[in-house]
């Protein structure tokens, strides 16, 4: 599926380089309360909007890549304009002490490393469906997130609210364009990034969804945990097998050279049932394993799209609930965005 949303939506949608950022001037409107985190490109704080006295998040962007700053603001502005469910809301764009800062809606987030091991089967279904809802909307308007991972998914358990954050690596999809492969976070990098195949698309995000889904249903913090990019590919090959890796390379005429002996060994494809333990048996249903097997494919064109994944039988029990067709007491509301 390479529907060309960006050319349909027009230059004003995707041309972020000629996009003028009108920084709002009331720089002292937002006060910093505490530091939430930070990285190469930004420092993130909890803040207070002194006008509304609402809590907010202030993401102070480091002046490393001005083009990247424009892209992130353009993406967030585009997405806030649309009814794109479960995407973090952009409230303001201010220059505080010379640094451009994004003010976003606050989420009473439960740290995923603590939350994930406690999620019940219905909660895994619900939050995965909420993530797919966000990606379906975003992919439909020509945007790839490119850094899907648990740390970029804020979940407020009390309000059963999920928000996809950190659009700093997001890009606009255009057919027949080569993209950078040094994107994403190692454990969630798709095979195309690891073998250097640049002609990727929205399906890049669907691999990462598969990695997250596997970590939730198998209760494994990171399902493919490589020590470097080569080891990351090795971990994937030891599960998906060498045979399908080789046919993937052939399909796309990818020349993958390596001196790593372990990458040259023939690994058998493992059945997903191989990862079931007494501890995760109640989560790894046959529907869950079927869905997983349709997301974690080497060949990105074989992976389910976000919409196709939403329609998978794994979500039936919460889909029926949403339409009120079942009278099951289990609280697993669906579609409340
Ligand atoms: Br955006 C955003 N980024 C964060 N980093 C840590 N916690 C965060 C929250 Br809550 C939001 Br909302």
Say what the ipTM of the complex is: 0.93
- pTM comes to 0.94
Q: What is the DSSP letter of 24?
A: B
Tokens of 269: 């494809």
Residues 203, 303 contacting (CB under 8 angstroms)? yes
Comparing C-alpha atoms, which of 201, 212, 154 is closest to residue 36?
A: 154
Does ligand 1 lie within 6 Å of residue 104's CB atom?
Answer: yes
pLDDT at 116: 95
Q: How many residues does the chain have?
A: 337
Which of the following is catalytic: 147, 166, 201, 205? Answer: 147
* Tens-digit pLDDT profile for residues 209-267: 999 999 999 999 999 999 999 999 999 999 999 999 999 999 999 999 999 999 999 99
Does ligand 1 lie within 6 Å of residue 110's CB atom?
Answer: no
Does ligand 1 lie within 6 Å of residue 109's CB atom?
Answer: yes
Distance CA 178, CA 166 (A): 22
Distance CA 155, CA 129 (A): 13
pLDDT at 82: 82
Distance 294 CA to ligand 1 centre (A): 30
Distance CA 38, CA 33 (A): 15
Query: By alpha-carbon position, which residue is closest to atom 6 of ligand 1?
Result: 36
Does ligand 1 lie within 6 Å of residue 45's CB atom?
Answer: no
SS3 assignment, position 131: helix
* Other C-beta atoms lying within 10 Å of the C-beta of residue 51: 9
pLDDT at 323: 72
147 is catalytic: yes
Binding residues: 68
Tokens of 84: 């794109």
Regions of the chain with pLDDT less than 70: 1-2, 320-322, 324-337
Residues 317, 125 contacting (CB under 8 angstroms)? yes
Query: By alpha-carbon position, which residue is closest to atom 1 of ligand 1?
Result: 165
pLDDT at 326: 59
């Amino acid at each position: 599926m390479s529907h060309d949303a960006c050319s349909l939506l027009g230059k004003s949608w995707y041309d972020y380089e000629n996009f003028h950022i009108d920084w709002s001037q009331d720089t002292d409107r937002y006060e910093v309360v505490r530091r939430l985190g930070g990285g190469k490109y930004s420092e993130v704080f909890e803040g207070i909007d002194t006008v509304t006295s609402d809590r907010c998040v202030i993401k102070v962007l480091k002046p490393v890549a001005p083009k990247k700053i424009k892209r992130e603001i353009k993406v967030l502005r585009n997405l806030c304009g649309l009814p794109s469910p479960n995407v973090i809301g952009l409230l303001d764009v201010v220059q505080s002490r010379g640094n451009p800062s994004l003010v976003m809606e606050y989420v009473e987030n439960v740290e995923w490393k603590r939350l994930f091991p406690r999620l019940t089967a219905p909660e895994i279904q619900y939050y995965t469906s909420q993530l797919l809802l966000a990606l379906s909307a975003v992919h439909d308007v020509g945007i790839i997130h490119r850094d899907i991972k648990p740390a970029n998914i804020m979940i407020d358990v009390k309000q059963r609210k999920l928000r996809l954050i950190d659009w700093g690596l997001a890009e606009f999809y255009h057919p027949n364009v080569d993209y950078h492969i040094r994107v994403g976070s190692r454990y969630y990098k798709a095979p195309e990034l690891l073998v250097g195949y640049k002609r990727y698309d929205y399906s890049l995000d669907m691999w990462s969804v598969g990695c997250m889904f596997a970590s939730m249903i198998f209760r494994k913090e990171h399902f493919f945990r490589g020590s470097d990019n080569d080891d990351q590919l090795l971990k994937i090959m030891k599960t998906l097998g060498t045979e399908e890796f080789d046919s993937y390379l052939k399909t796309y005429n990818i020349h993958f050279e390596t001196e790593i002996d372990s990458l040259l060994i023939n690994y058998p494809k493992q059945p997903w049932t191989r990862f079931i333990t007494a501890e995760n048996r109640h989560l790894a249903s046959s529907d869950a394993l079927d869905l997983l097997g349709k997301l974690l494919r080497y060949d990105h064109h074989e992976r389910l799209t976000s919409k196709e994944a939403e329609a998978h039988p794994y979500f039936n029990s919460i889909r029926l609930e949403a339409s009120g067709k079942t009278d099951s007491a289990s609280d697993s509301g669906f579609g409340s965005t």
